[in-house]
Structure 1
Amino acid sequence: MMSVVVIYYSGYGHTKRVAETVAEGARADLIAIDSNGDIQESDWQKLNDAKAIIFGAPTYMGSVPWQFKKFADATSKAWFVRSWQDKVFAGFSNSASLNGDKQVSLQYLQTLASQHGGIWVSLGLPPSNTQAATRQDINNLGGSVGLLVQSPSDADAGAIASGDLETAVKFGERVASVAKRFN
């Protein structure tokens, strides 16, 4: 059986909801990075065994938070022995602003995947960019490198736009489909 893992850090619950939604589309296992930037020892084996890894992190102050960076630094053991070479990777980020510099976070995640010798999967969906477009449309934020999500700062994760969540499901499905082709 082909396995996909979504590994994410969530500071306030918004990224967790997105991770769960991406995992639903990909039929993936979830690994949460805790508030200290750590994962369980058994989670490392899940990542090593996975055919595809989807990174998820909020964008704080123009990049991923330190907890995700601590996890990324810990992946150097996998990097050293090339255990993630040729895995399929993808990523997503959310922030309170429509733009919120999420593209910088996606570039960070893509670079991390590339350092591991991974194969990056883009969002693969055209933007919803017509005058009639709304937040309920697929890819209404116009992402391409990965999934972009906007989470209002004054609301809980239940306020994430339905278009962003539908895009998250489609993104998960795409990553799983691409991974299946490579395996």
Structure 2
Amino acid sequence: MTTVAVVYHSGYGHTQRMAQAVAQGAGAVLVAIDADGNLPQGGWDTLAAADAIIFGSPTYMGNVSWQFKKFADASSKVWFAQGWKDKLAAGFTNSAGMNGDKHATLTTLFTLAMQHAMIWVSQGLMPSNTKAARRNDVNYLVSYSGAIAQSPSDSSAGDMLPGDLETARLFGERVAQVAARMRG
């Protein structure tokens, strides 16, 4: 059996909601980075035991939150021991803007994974980019490198669009399927 962990930071609950959808799709355990940038008790052990790690951060000012960056920097001890080498990795983000420079955040998550010698799993969903497409369609925001979502700055986490959450769920499902194939 494969194990998947979703390690994420959420400032206002939107990224947490997305993390929950990713975890639901992957059958994954959630590891929340707290407001001070720290993992919970046993968090590092959970990541060490996982076959795949899915990274999640809101996009703030065109990149990951400082709390996620603190976690990434702290992972240098794992990097030195090559503890995540050849594990699967993937990433997701949310921001208020339709674009919001989310790609820069995904690139940061990808770079973290590459420095750890991990194997990146892409989104794997076709885009909803026809004239008939609607905002609530799966992969409406069109990302190939990871899952992305958009939440207006004055919305609550409960207002997140079902299409974005379904995109996140399907993304988690894909990571779990790839992990199972790799392990098999």
TM-score class, shorter: over 0.9
Which residue of the partner structure matches residue 43 of structure 1?
A: 43
1:83-127 deviations in Å (ceiling 9; x for gaps): 100000000000001100000000000000010000000001111
- Alpha-carbon distance, 1:2 to partner: 1.3
1:41-68 deviations in Å (ceiling 9; x for gaps): 4110110010000000000000001100
Structure-to-structure mapping, 1:96-135, within 5 angstroms: 96-135=96-135
Maintained 8 Å contact 2:91/2:146: yes
- Alpha-carbon distance, 1:152 to partner: 1.3
CA distance in 2 between counterparts of 1:22 and 1:87 reads: 18
Q: Letter of the 2:158 partner, please give it.
A: G
Maintained 8 Å contact 1:97/1:152: yes
Maintained 8 Å contact 1:9/1:67: yes
CA distance in 1 between counterparts of 2:56 and 2:20 reads: 10
Which residue of the partner structure matches residue 136 of structure 1?
A: 136
Which residue of the partner structure matches residue 6 of structure 1?
A: 6
CA distance in 1 between counterparts of 2:174 and 2:137 reads: 18
Q: Letter of the 2:166 partner, please give it.
A: E
Which residue of the partner structure matches residue 176 of structure 2?
A: 176
Which residue of the partner structure matches residue 75 of structure 1?
A: 75
Deviation beyond 6 Å, 4+ runs, structure 1 = none
TM-score (norm 2): 0.98
Q: Percent identity?
A: 59
Query: CA RMSD of the aligned region, Å?
Result: 0.7
Q: Secondary structure at the match of 1:44?
A: helix
CA distance in 2 between counterparts of 1:61 and 1:94 reads: 12
Maintained 8 Å contact 2:9/2:57: yes
1:118-139 deviations in Å (ceiling 9; x for gaps): 0000001111001111111110
Q: Letter of the 1:139 partner, please give it.
A: N
Maintained 8 Å contact 2:34/2:40: no
Q: Note the residue ranges of structure 2 that are not aligned, 5 or more in a row.
A: none
Check if 1:87 corresponds to 2:90. Answer: no
Q: Which stretch has the larger CA shift, 155-164 or 18-27?
A: 155-164
